[in-house]
Structure 1
Amino acid sequence: MSLSTHVLDTARGRPAPGLQVTCERRDGDGWQHLTTRETNDDGRIGDLLGREELTAGVHRLTFATGAWAAAHGRETFWPEVTVTFEIAAPDEHHHVPLLLSPFGYSTYRGS
């Protein structure tokens, strides 16, 4: 079905627009690049995969948090945040939000 994300800058209580997110799928011993996109003005990417089909297996999202913080004149401890997860039901929607602050982050499976 689909894969989406939403990045929130919890230090400011605002969305994180313009943050680059790369999506990859585990392929044997390595990773297959699927897409690289940027969050919109609301900090969202509604469909990370575009034309790629969501399949079962291990995936990862890499959020370019260091570059985003530098572009906004902010300090961060995280040059990047990588979230690795397994999709067991590709016919369902999967939402992987990132709550980001300069010295911490959290994520969960949303809807």
Structure 2
Amino acid sequence: MSSPITCHVLNTVSGTPADNLKATLTLLSRSTTGLQAGLSFNAVTNDDGRVKEWAAAEDGTTLNAVMDKYGQGDKIACSIKFEIGAWYEERGTESFWPEVEIKFYVKKGERHYHVPCLVGPWTYTTYRGS
């Protein structure tokens, strides 16, 4: 089963995928079924700048299990944080952003959430992808 939340990061300076970029997905709000706020899942973007799967949380919980558990109609605030500053520094470029954090809602019944991010050392933008 593929992840219900994926992302894609592109480097606007070079027009290429932001590969090997650390990302953290965090649940920011509690659901009515008792999901814990603060539960986090980590990943690193692949060669195409994508995260297709997230590692299980420290307690072993998977993102798929979380998404299967929460109640119909629940709306949960989430965040994806990208470690942009360190990523650009590793490539010899200074960045204004130490990190870029995108906050969004997920709702039960939605089949998939894709969160693209276009990043540069001085700017970023995002949208709900498909």
TM-score, normalised by the number of residues in structure 2 = 0.76
* Letter of the 1:34 counterpart: S
Structure with greater strand share of residues: 1
Which letter does structure 2 place at the counterpart of 1:6?
A: H
- Seen in structure 2, the aligned counterparts of structure 1 residues 31 and 79 have a Cα distance that, compared at 3 Å, is farther
Pairwise mapping of residues 41-80 of structure 1 onto structure 2 (< 5 A)? Answer: 41-48=47-54, 51-53=62-64, 54=67, 55=70, 56-80=75-99
> Which residue number in structure 1 is paired with residue 33 of structure 2?
none
Counterparts in 2 of 1:49 and 1:109: CA distance versus 1, 3 Å: farther
Counterparts of 1:75 and 1:33 in 2: how far apart (Å)? 31
Q: Deviations over 1:20-52 (max 9, x none)?
A: 000000245x94232111001110111236632
Between the aligned partners of 1:48 and 1:80, the Cα distance in structure 2 is 19
Q: Which has the higher contact order (CA 8 A, sep 6+)?
A: 1
List gaps (5 residues or longer) in structure 2: 31-35, 57-61
The offset of 1:92, in angstroms, is 1.2
Letter in 1 for 2:5: L
List gaps (5 residues or longer) in structure 1.
none
The alignment-based identity, stated in percent, is 35
Does the 8 Å CA contact 2:25/2:79 hold for their aligned counterparts? Answer: yes
Which consecutive segments of 4 or more residues in structure 1 shift more than 6 A?
A: none
When the two chains are superposed, the root-mean-square deviation of aligned CA atoms in Å is 2.0
2:116 is matched with: 97
Check whether the contact 1:3–1:49 (CA below 8 A) recurs between aligned residues. Answer: no
Q: Corresponding residue for 2:59? A: none
1:37 to 15, 20, 43: 43
Aligned length: 110
Whole-angstrom CA distance in 2 between matches of 1:93 and 1:107: 16
More helix by share: 2
